[in-house]
Amino acid sequence: MTEKRKRRWAFALGLFVITVLYCVYYLGFVYGVFTRVPMKTRHIVKFLFVLAVYGVGWLALRRQVAEWMVKIWHMLYVCGVGVMLLLGAYDWGIARLPAAVRSIADAVQELLVSPLLFIAMLLLLRSLRVAGGEEDTK
């Protein structure tokens, strides 16, 4: 298998796994399957989904893209997870967060679980390759 084919296979597999994780997350949390689960357990499960998507994305991107793109991936997830941990610590330790803040936290979490960031990295990579003169249009 050529290097180009391996790269495409890694990207396709990463996108597939992230999409499946997002579908499971969306069905479980948006459609309310986990409504009877205690709040702390839901927080932990949501956090595990974010970590799983981060790991899959990192594995798919680590050898295929420039080092600075992997650093962007890390920075996005570190910032997002940091915000979520701070809000979660407040929610668990001090008081329940207001609904408006919880909705912002849910939006950040959904962004981190969705395949949107992975697709953005792939589009950025492709545009850089085309601008650099590489033939990667197939």
Q: Give the CA angle between residues 26, 125, 1 to the nearest 5°.
A: 90
Q: Which residues contact 37 (CB under 8 A, 6 or more apart)?
A: 45
Q: Which residues contact 31 (CB under 8 A, 6 or more apart)?
A: none
Confidence of residue 30 (pLDDT cuts 50, 70, 90): low
The least confident of 65-69, 79-83, 105-109 is 65-69
DSSP secondary structure string for all residues of 7-31: HHHHHHHHHHHHHHHHHHHIIIIIT
The average pLDDT across 82-89 equals 89
The least confident of 28-32, 48-52, 87-91, 110-114 is 28-32
Distance CA 94, CA 106 (A): 19
DSSP secondary structure string for all residues of 30-56: ITTTTTTS-HHHHHHHHHHHHHHHHHH
Tens of pLDDT, residues 35-68 = 777 888 888 888 999 999 999 999 988 877 778 8
Q: Give the side-chain half-sphere CA count within 13 A for 22.
A: 20
Confidence of residue 135 (pLDDT cuts 50, 70, 90): low
Instruction: State the pLDDT at residue 56.
Output: 94
Instruction: State the pLDDT at residue 125.
Output: 83
The average pLDDT across 84-112 equals 88
CA distances from residue 133 to 42, 63, 83, 103 in whole angstroms, order as listed: 47, 20, 39, 43
Instruction: State the pLDDT at residue 17.
Output: 94
